[in-house]
Amino acid sequence: MRKALALIVIVLILAPVVSAGTIDGSVRFLRDSALGTSRTQELSLSIMAITSAADDLLWSVRPDLSNLVYRLIGYQNPDGGWGYFFNEPSNVIDTAYAVIALQRALPMMGEIQKDAARESIGRGVSYILSAKGNGGWGYVPETPSSCYPTLMALWALGETGHTYDEGTVLNALQNLDDLPCEIPEYEALGLKIMAYHSLGYPVNESIIEKVKDILFEGNVTVGERALLTYALVLTRPFDFDTYRLLTKLESHSQVETQDVAYWPGAWIGGATRGITAATAFALMALSTTYERAPHREFENPYYMPCDDLTMLQNPDGGWGVVFGAPSNEKATYYAVSAMSTCYPTAANIEKALNWTEKAFEVETEKIRTRGGMTYEYFYALETLLRYGLLSEDERKEAINLIKGSQLRGGLWGHSFLGPQPYDTALAVKALLDLGVPPNDPTIQKAKEWLLEVSSGGWGLYLGGYVRKLMFPDTLTTITVLEALDGIASPDELKPHIQWLLSQREDDGWSYSRGTPYRSLELTVRATDILAEYGYNYTNETLALVMRYRDEGVIQENTVDTSVAVLYLSRFQYVPSVTLYDVRYTLDTESFEIVNLTLSNESIAKITATLSNYFSGNFIEGASAQIGEDNYIVFAGFEDYPLTQYNPYLTFRVTNETVTVGNITVPRRDAIVVIPGKTPNGVVLFVLSDPGHQDIIEQMFTTGFIRYIRGHAMVLLVESNRIRLITVG
The whole-number pLDDT of residue 116 equals 94
- Give domain 306-568's CATH architecture: Alpha/alpha barrel (1.50)
Q: Which amino acid, 14?
A: L
CA distance 240 to 218: 19
663: phi > 0 → left, psi -120 to 50 → alpha, else beta; which? beta
According to DSSP, residue 488 is labeled: B
Give the per-residue pLDDT at 295.
Answer: 46
Q: Give 313's strand partners.
A: 319
Alpha helices in 574-692 (DSSP H): 579-586, 600-613, 642-645
Beta strands in 172-243 (DSSP E): none
What are the angstrom distances between the C-alpha of 392 and each of 160, 340, 710? 88, 24, 56
Residue 294: closest CA among 581, 538, 674, 567: 581
Q: For the residues of 355-422, what is the DSSP string, one character each?
A: HHHHHHHHHHHHHHHH-S--HHHHHHHHHHHHTT---HHHHHHHHHHHHHTS-TTSS-EETTTEE-HH
User: For residue range 24-52, what is the model confidence (pLDDT) as tens digits?
Assistant: 888 888 998 888 889 999 999 999 999 98
C-alpha span between 675 and 685 (Å, rounded): 6
pLDDT reported for residue 268 = 38
CATH number of 579-727: 3.30.379
Residue 44 host element (H or E): helix 40-53
Q: How far apart are CA 206 and CA 191, in angstroms?
A: 16
Nearest Cα to Cα of residue 663 among 716, 705, 706, 720: 716
Residues facing residue 148 across a β-bridge: none
Instruction: Give the residue among 664, 659, 675, 682 at the shortest CA–CA distance from 708.
Output: 675
With a cut of 70, list the residues of the chain below it in pLDDT. Answer: 1-21, 56, 58-59, 256-258, 265-273, 288-299, 343-345, 464-466, 572-574
Domain boundaries, the chain: 18-288, 306-568, 579-727
pLDDT tens, position by position, 55-88:
767 667 888 899 999 999 999 999 999 999 999 9
φ, ψ dihedrals at 583, nearest 5°: -60, -40
* Distance between CA atoms of residues 313 and 339, nearest Å: 11
Q: Please, what CATH class does the domain formed by 18-288 belong to?
A: mainly alpha
Name the phi and psi angles at 481, rounded to 5.
-60, -40
What whole-number distance in Å separates Cα of residue 40 and Cα of residue 50? Answer: 15
List, in order, residues 6 or more apart from 344 with CB less than 8 Å away: none
Q: Do domains 18-288 and 579-727 have the same CATH topology?
A: no
- Identify whether the C-beta of residue 509 lies closer than 8 Å to the C-beta of residue 519: yes
| CA–CA dist 58, 451 (Å, integer) | 69
Q: Are 293 and 581 contacting, i.e. CB atoms less than 8 angstroms apart? A: yes
- Provide the Cα torsion 451, 457, 462, 467; round to 10°: -40
599: how many CB neighbours lie within 10 A of its CB?
Answer: 11
DSSP class of residue 109?
S
What's the confidence (pLDDT) of residue 316? 96
Collapsing DSSP to helix, strand or coil, 659 comes out as: strand
What's the pLDDT at 644? 80
